[in-house]
Structure 1
Amino acid sequence: MCRWAAYRGNPLYLEELVSSPAHSLIEQSHCANRAKTATNGDGFGIAWYGDHPEPGRYRDILPAWSDCNLRSLARQIRSPLFLAHVRAATNGGTRRDNCHPFVHGRWSFMHNGQISGFERIRRRMEALLPDTLFDARAGTTDSELLFLLALHFGLENDPLGAVAEAIATVEDFSHRHGGDALVRFTAAFSDGGRLYAVRYATDHKPPTLYAAPMGGKCGKTTGYCLVSEPLNDDVDAWMEIPDGSAITLCDDGMKREIFEPKLLSVAA
């Protein structure tokens, strides 16, 4: 399983999540505490928003702990919204196109989890994509394909609804063509304005997700971070997000609501 961290709020240096904390994302890349695999060394990536609508992005196949450029970039880049990911591959080889976050237009997306029996339903999932999105597929992972399906189902206008339909479609395909359906999905995605996250699993055993406020002077909350596992030992600061939840971070703070896959149309 992968590990990731995301932030929205007042501009913050990426190192505040990626490299500086005692249990930073780089530390988790070789010593994760709350994952089935302690090592997440199959590449990494960061996506951040600045002065342009589309995010900047840096990815590589090296383990995060061994890339000196990542530490340097994290120390210099300051952003109000960013996503960072270290990968432990379940589907797709170790290549740059398979490293998260994935980007399309102004949208960025990263995922921790898996689709059981993905190879049996991949062609049917790909067949749903219009040519423009099919041609945008650069890698071979289930994560990227889920992202493109969500774009097809209306991520631009209804982000959480589009992700709910994408997951429901995958579960439907799995039931009808692959046997038992099992989707484990803990993901973050953003259009550069709002930051969204979902924690869900068909078997109610999703990868972990935690949230915490980031504070400025006088203890005032200046933003929120979402992480696969806490960045330090201050257990009171971290709230575990329950299974079947959707999170939205915006100017009004953090909102949590129930997340449930919804199949709006039946594909062949």
Structure 2
Amino acid sequence: MCRWLAYSGSPVSVGDLLYKPTNSLVIQSKHSRMGAETTNGDGFGVGWYGALAEPGMFHSTEPAWNDRNLHELASHARSGRVFAHIRASTGSAVQQTNCHPFRHGNWLWMHNGLIRDFATVKRDLVFAVAPELYPGIEGSTDSEVFFYLALTFGLEQDPPAAIAAAVGLIEETGRRHGVEHPIQMTVATTDGNATWAVRYSSEGQSRTLFHSTDISTLRAQYPDYPLLHGLSDDTRLVVSEPLGDLHGAWQEVPESSCITVRGGEEELQPFKPAAP
């Protein structure tokens, strides 16, 4: 599958996010502890918000641990909202247009998991994408079609409801084609102001997802831990697996849940697909 992180808070070096933690995303690209695969070497991507309304993106088909351009770019880029994703393909080609995060306007999207038997259900799902949105699909992954289905169902107005509708359609389509468990997912999306992340799977055994504990609480628990003192109180991370072993720093997102991160506030709600 894949591994990803969604960061929001005080502006930080993208390189510090990707390389410095003891279980950084770059380390996970070679030695994931909790992923379906140990190695996630089928490319990577980074999306970040800066001076422009539309987020910047960098994609490569190189393994994250072996790309000098990523290290150079990340060392110089700073942002208060970053999406980063390392890819383990579930069957689609290793090419830049298949690397996450995907972008539409000021929105970013990334996914860990798969739409099962995608080749079987792809035609039906693609035909459900709004005609005016369809030209934006550049790659061949199930994850990008999932994104455009969510956009079709109103992601820009109500992200949780749109994701629920997209998942409902994917499940209905899959089961109509004889797929027992049509979707496995942890997915994250952002408009640059808030982040929404969902953990769900048709079989109820979803890939791992965690969010960081309140920074001010950690700062009180670990007064001699220097990294915590350089971050604002509204700093939050949502990750596929913890970036380090600091006790109490991470909380697991429950099965079938949606977490919304807006500033320093987090809201956790049950997630249930909506009937198409």
Give secondary structure in 2 for the equivalent of 1:57: strand
Given that residues 199 and 206 in structure 1 are in contact (C-alpha distance below 8 angstroms), is that contact kept between their aligned partners in structure 2? yes
Q: 1:141 and 2:123 equivalent?
A: no
> Unpaired runs of 5+ in structure 1?
none
Give secondary structure in 2 for the equivalent of 1:221: coil
CA apart distance, 1:218: 9.1
Give secondary structure in 2 for the equivalent of 1:178: coil
When structure 1 is superposed on structure 2, of 61-70 and 210-219 the one drifting more is 210-219
Report the Cα distance in structure 2 between the residues aligned to 1:95 and 1:231, rounded to whole angstroms: 27
Report the Cα distance in structure 1 between the residues aligned to 2:247 and 2:183, rounded to whole angstroms: 29
Given that residues 187 and 198 in structure 2 are in contact (C-alpha distance below 8 angstroms), is that contact kept between their aligned partners in structure 1? yes
Structure 2 partner of 1:196: 196
> Unpaired runs of 5+ in structure 2?
217-227
CA apart distance, 1:252: 4.6
Structure 2 partner of 1:58: 58
Letter in 1 for 2:90: T
Given that residues 17 and 231 in structure 1 are in contact (C-alpha distance below 8 angstroms), is that contact kept between their aligned partners in structure 2? no
Structure 2 partner of 1:174: 174
Given that residues 170 and 182 in structure 2 are in contact (C-alpha distance below 8 angstroms), is that contact kept between their aligned partners in structure 1? no
Report the Cα distance in structure 2 between the residues aligned to 1:93 and 1:172, rounded to whole angstroms: 26
* Equivalent position to 2:240, from 195, 203, 228: 228
Report the Cα distance in structure 2 between the residues aligned to 1:219 and 1:31, rounded to whole angstroms: 27
Structure 2 partner of 1:116: 116
Letter in 2 for 1:187: V
Report the Cα distance in structure 1 between the residues aligned to 2:204 and 2:262, rounded to whole angstroms: 27
Given that residues 129 and 152 in structure 1 are in contact (C-alpha distance below 8 angstroms), is that contact kept between their aligned partners in structure 2? yes
Structure 1 partner of 2:257: 245
Report the Cα distance in structure 2 between the residues aligned to 1:179 and 1:34, rounded to whole angstroms: 26
Report the Cα distance in structure 2 between the residues aligned to 1:206 and 1:219, rounded to whole angstroms: 31
Letter in 2 for 1:33: R
Structure 2 partner of 1:106: 106
Taking structure 1 as the reference length, the TM-score comes to 0.94
Report the Cα distance in structure 1 between the residues aligned to 2:272 and 2:16, rounded to whole angstroms: 32
Given that residues 5 and 17 in structure 1 are in contact (C-alpha distance below 8 angstroms), is that contact kept between their aligned partners in structure 2? no
Given that residues 44 and 62 in structure 1 are in contact (C-alpha distance below 8 angstroms), is that contact kept between their aligned partners in structure 2? yes
CA apart distance, 1:16: 2.8
What's the CA shift string for 1:174-210, capped at 9, x where partnerless? 1112332331110111011111100001111111111
Report the Cα distance in structure 2 between the residues aligned to 1:65 and 1:33, rounded to whole angstroms: 16
When structure 1 is superposed on structure 2, of 132-141 and 145-154 the one drifting more is 132-141
C-alpha distance 231-176 of structure 1, shift in aligned 2 (>3 A): same
Structure 1 partner of 2:225: none
Report the Cα distance in structure 1 between the residues aligned to 2:203 and 2:56, rounded to whole angstroms: 35
CA apart distance, 1:91: 3.3
Given that residues 10 and 231 in structure 2 are in contact (C-alpha distance below 8 angstroms), is that contact kept between their aligned partners in structure 1? no
Taking structure 2 as the reference length, the TM-score comes to 0.92
| Pairwise CA RMSD | 1.5
Letter in 2 for 1:44: F
Give secondary structure in 2 for the equivalent of 1:243: coil
What's the CA shift string for 1:198-229, capped at 9, x where partnerless? 00011111111111145653986231001111
What's the CA shift string for 1:160-180, capped at 9, x where partnerless? 100010001000001112332
Between the two proteins, the alignment pairs up a number of residues equal to 264
Given that residues 120 and 178 in structure 1 are in contact (C-alpha distance below 8 angstroms), is that contact kept between their aligned partners in structure 2? no
Structure 1 partner of 2:70: 70
Given that residues 185 and 199 in structure 2 are in contact (C-alpha distance below 8 angstroms), is that contact kept between their aligned partners in structure 1? yes
When structure 1 is superposed on structure 2, of 207-216 and 78-87 the one drifting more is 207-216
Report the Cα distance in structure 2 between the residues aligned to 1:158 and 1:193, rounded to whole angstroms: 14
Report the Cα distance in structure 2 between the residues aligned to 1:112 and 1:9, rounded to whole angstroms: 23
Given that residues 116 and 179 in structure 2 are in contact (C-alpha distance below 8 angstroms), is that contact kept between their aligned partners in structure 1? no
Report the Cα distance in structure 2 between the residues aligned to 1:235 and 1:93, rounded to whole angstroms: 39
Structure 1 partner of 2:80: 80
Report the Cα distance in structure 2 between the residues aligned to 1:173 and 1:128, rounded to whole angstroms: 11
Report the Cα distance in structure 2 between the residues aligned to 1:111 and 1:231, rounded to whole angstroms: 18
Report the Cα distance in structure 1 between the residues aligned to 2:162 and 2:111, rounded to whole angstroms: 15
C-alpha distance 252-212 of structure 1, shift in aligned 2 (>3 A): closer
